[in-house]
Amino acid sequence: MKPFKLPWRVGPRSAKDTRSITNEKESQDYRPSEPTHFNFFSSQLDSCVEASTIDGLKALYDPLCPLLEDGTYPGLWWLDVTAPSEDDIETLSRIFNLHPLTTEDIKIRENREKIEAFGPYYFLSLRPALRVETYVGARTSTVNVYAVVFRNGVLSFSMEGNPHVGHVRNRIREHQSHLSLTSDWICYALIDDIVDGFAPFINQVESGVETMEDSVSITRPDDIGLALQQIYKSRKEVLHIRQLLNDKTDVIRCFARHCEAFGASLSQVTLYLSDIQDHVLTMIANLDAAEQMLSRGQSKYLSQLSFDSTRMRNQIMHALGRLTMIAGIIVPCQFVTGLFGMNVTVPGEDKKTLDGWFSILGIILALILLFITIARKLRFL
């Protein structure tokens, strides 16, 4: 089957991207870390229908059979799948007639954030703030949330458990009485909740930056290295969060264009999207301020470290200068003592007095005093 042209998409897929996807698909054996969980929500139901298999959903709710057989349902629906297997993805792709590119992105866990239109639906790939430890080089990674949005329903995939789907369902229940619920609104609410998930991380970064700013003047020299390491980690985290938020601005713009093109503006989704856009811009501004404070703090620590290094180097040079001056005083004295300690005639040796010895000792002491006086005038001592 020939792939058709996409009306619009965020970022064209290059040949390099295709090769990397193919290599990743061949090298990665997908094994979900959590049990598969299906959750069905409908405007005609008071509560959600939950099951571990597709057949279990059909057994629990008979009106689901047409939807899970040929993709038809009389009302608005939302089917969320947590930790799906490859067979589940293939089955749902066949039921809802998903494009092979959409199926491929979900199966390989495409981490690029985007929104693409495929005729009867559009595909959303968004990365939440929830982080999953990988234990490879102490790195952290995030698993994207995928949503296939039809006119009358939403099919979402979460490769790992996340709270965003539950938050959106609770929001729908709270505002159901005065809410004009559409599939576009569910997509907006999912984007909004994912964006809100970044707020705790940004607050944590800002709190750490303020603590760092207050401790710059009282940090001991021995702790500067540890403080610089912490600043490096914080700046890396700020850069990571900022990049995720920048990607989301492109997704939100394209989603707004989609809503206007398909008449979804009647549901005021575009107004909600502008609110998300403002929220994202505010968080980016906060991150920029935190980055500036971290940069100033790093400069202060580096300046203090340079000052301490210069002071220590000056102290070492001063100590070496003293040692050099002491050596310069001792060497002539050793020459004099060594000279008269040899088999030579000592002045006054033929006399039975100590005048010669005291004369030599006086010369040595006079040399010592002379060198000390010169060193003090030259500020070597």
pLDDT digit string, tens, across residues 114-126: 888 888 888 999 9
Whether the per-residue pLDDT at 329 is higher than 60: the answer is yes
- In terms of average pLDDT, the best of 174-178, 263-267, 287-291 is 287-291
Alpha carbon distance 291, 27 (integer Å): 37
More confident of the two residues 357 and 237: 237
**Dihedral, CA atoms, 25, 91, 83, 196, nearest 10 degrees?**
90
More confident of the two residues 55 and 4: 55
Alpha carbon distance 284, 281 (integer Å): 5
| pLDDT of res. 4 | 30
Whether the per-residue pLDDT at 339 is higher than 80: the answer is no
Whether the per-residue pLDDT at 243 is higher than 50: the answer is yes
State mean pLDDT over 307-319.
Answer: 83
| Closest by Cα among 140, 135, 108, 132 to 29 | 108
| pLDDT of res. 111 | 86
Whether the per-residue pLDDT at 21 is higher than 50: the answer is no
Question: Long-range contacts made by residues 169-175, C-beta under 8 angstroms, separation at least 24?
Answer: 169/41, 169/48, 172/41
Q: In this structure, are residues 197 and 129 in contact, taking their beta carbons and an 8 Å threshold?
A: yes
Alpha carbon distance 30, 227 (integer Å): 39
| pLDDT of res. 2 | 35
Task: For the beta carbon of residue 165, count every other beta carbon within 10 angstroms.
Answer: 24
| Closest by Cα among 39, 94, 47, 104 to 69 | 94
Q: What percentage of the chain has pLDDT greater than the value 90?
A: 8
pLDDT in tens, 23-81: 444 334 444 456 788 899 887 777 788 888 888 888 888 888 888 877 778 888 999 99
Alpha carbon distance 374, 74 (integer Å): 105
- Within its chain, how far is the Cα of 357 from the centroid? 80
| pLDDT of res. 105 | 92
State mean pLDDT over 128-146.
Answer: 58
Task: Name the burial class of residue 265, with classes exposed (0-12), middle (13-18) and buried (19+) by CB atoms within 10 angstroms of its CB.
Answer: middle
pTM over 0.85: no
More confident of the two residues 169 and 354: 169
Which residues have C-beta within 8 Å of that of residue 242, sequence separation ≥ 6? 284, 287, 288, 291
Nearest-Å Rg of the Cα atoms of the chain is 38
